[in-house]
Amino acid sequence: MQNYLSNCTYVTVNSQHPHHKEYLCQNTSYLRYWTGHDAKFLYMLFEYVCGGELFKYLREVGHFSSETTRFYASEIILALKYLHSLNIVYRDLKPENLLLDYSGHLKMTDFGFAKHVKDRTYSLCGTPEYLAPEILQGKGHNHAADWWTTGIIIYEMLVGRPPFYDENDNRLHIYQKIVSGDFDFPDEIVDENAKSIVRKFLRVNLNERLGSSKDSMYEILEHPWFSDICWSDVFQRKLKPPIIPNVQSDGDTCCYEQYFEQDWSEIPLSSVSSRNLFKEF
């Protein structure tokens, strides 16, 4: 927990990009306002993002068109590009961690697994279906793991499920499929450029994976699937989002499930040693 919160704090302080939930630029709709603690709790106060999770919209329609997928992929790619320029690896890209703001643009959230990495890191973390093979094999991983997961996300948006999954949710079977790198597209996926970029992201061999080398960002941005994309418009959020949340105001909660709040009043005080772990929080 200490590392998780420290990672959140580090990325929040150092990240200033329009597609990061915690970015600190002027036109953001989601700011990290404040952190603090008392004798019982740690507090992280964020501004509210009203549009809900991309996961929600994907499950409602089953899968997205190539055009819709390309829009969201372009915003994801620029967010990762910026994180990687700071030597930050995200490591938790999935539809549940992508939120839609009032206007329908993406916000990347939950930086608990993010880490500042100059060479490689060896910690095992992430969500099973989205883990890169080098993470599972303990070979050490870097920013290339995020590009693997970008391929997973693009595939999932196009098809409606991740490329490596098991109907019985058997993690061992999922991991075996990931390490082998074998997957297929359903016959109804006919966009060859979309299939091409997914296959290039999902290369088990790091030397062959799109985005793995320091100079390969150009190859991503210039891939034929993005031939109609103006990247400066993506960065400035000028493109019209394919999904506009049906909300009445920035404070509308209709895009989220309702949860009963727990009564935390009887929680005992934390120990002094526990509080000392977070005295800088």
- Rounded distance, CA 162 to CA 151, Å? 9
Distances in Å between the Cα of 261 and the Cα atoms of 51, 80, 152 are 21, 34, 34
Spatial CA neighbour of 147 closest among 74, 226, 78, 209: 209
- β-strand pairing of 32-37 with 42-46: antiparallel
185: tokens are 């597209």
Q: Which amino acid is at 4?
A: Y
- How many angstroms separate the CA atoms of 196 and 213, rounded? 18
Catalytic residue annotation: 92
| DSSP character string of 26-40 | TT-S--EEEEEE-SS
- Phi-psi sector, 138: left (phi>0), alpha (psi -120 to 50), beta: left
What DSSP character marks residue 88? E
| 3-state DSSP assignment of residue 21 | coil
